[in-house]
């Protein structure tokens, strides 16, 4: 969960064209889910599906999702048990038998050079093709 700065400068990653809606320059977004993975309940997914035509979409999907939930009674849970960093963190979790469904490299706000590294991350840290279907949460 985060509430990072609203980026008003054009040509920067995560630029928000509607930055003015968040107040003065330098303001932050409301708290919202962020990262490589987040989950929502079936009820929230149904709410989005039904109301999709009237829900405003911001430049970044995690901010949009957060804005849709502001007026709703939702519980935000920040649980990183199923997340891990890039190797060797994910290798240690896999060896311990823990499920790792998302990988994140804190040194660069994601997976650095993701196109080059994704195959290596999966090869070194994956639990096999059936892991998601066989895992107990």
Query: For 12-52, how does the pLDDT look when each residue is reduced to its tens digit (9 = 90+)?
Result: 888 899 999 988 877 888 877 776 677 888 999 999 999 99
Q: Which residue has the tokens 């997976």?
A: 111
The encoded tokens of residue 72 equal 């709703």
pLDDT score, position 53: 95
pLDDT score, position 18: 92
Query: For 115-127, how does the pLDDT look when each residue is reduced to its tens digit (9 = 90+)?
Result: 666 666 666 666 5
Q: Which helix (H) or strand (E) holds 104?
A: strand 102-104
Q: What's the whole-number average pLDDT of the chain?
A: 77
Mean pLDDT across 99-122: 66
Q: What does the DSSP 8-state code read for residue 13?
A: T
- Which residues have C-beta within 8 Å of that of residue 72, sequence separation ≥ 6? 44, 47
Residue 73, pLDDT > 60, answer: yes
Mean pLDDT across 60-67: 89
Contact between 32 and 53 under an 8 Å Cβ cutoff? The reply is no
Burial class (CB in 10 A: 0-12, 13-18, 19+), 123: exposed
Residue 107, pLDDT > 80, answer: no
């Amino acid at each position: 969960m985060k509430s990072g700065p609203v980026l008003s400068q054009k040509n920067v990653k995560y630029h928000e064209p509607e930055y003015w809606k968040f107040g003065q320059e330098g303001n932050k977004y409301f708290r919202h889910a962020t990262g490589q993975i987040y989950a929502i309940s079936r009820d929230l997914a149904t709410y989005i599906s039904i109301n999709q035509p009237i829900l405003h979409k911001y430049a970044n999907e995690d901010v949009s999702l957060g804005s849709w939930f502001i007026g709703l009674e939702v519980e935000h849970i920040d649980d990183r048990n199923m997340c891990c960093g890039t190797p060797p963190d994910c290798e240690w979790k896999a060896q311990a038998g823990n499920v790792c469904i998302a990988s994140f490299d804190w040194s660069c706000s994601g997976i650095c050079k993701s196109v080059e590294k994704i195959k290596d991350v999966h090869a070194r840290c994956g639990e096999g093709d059936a892991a998601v279907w066989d895992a107990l949460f």
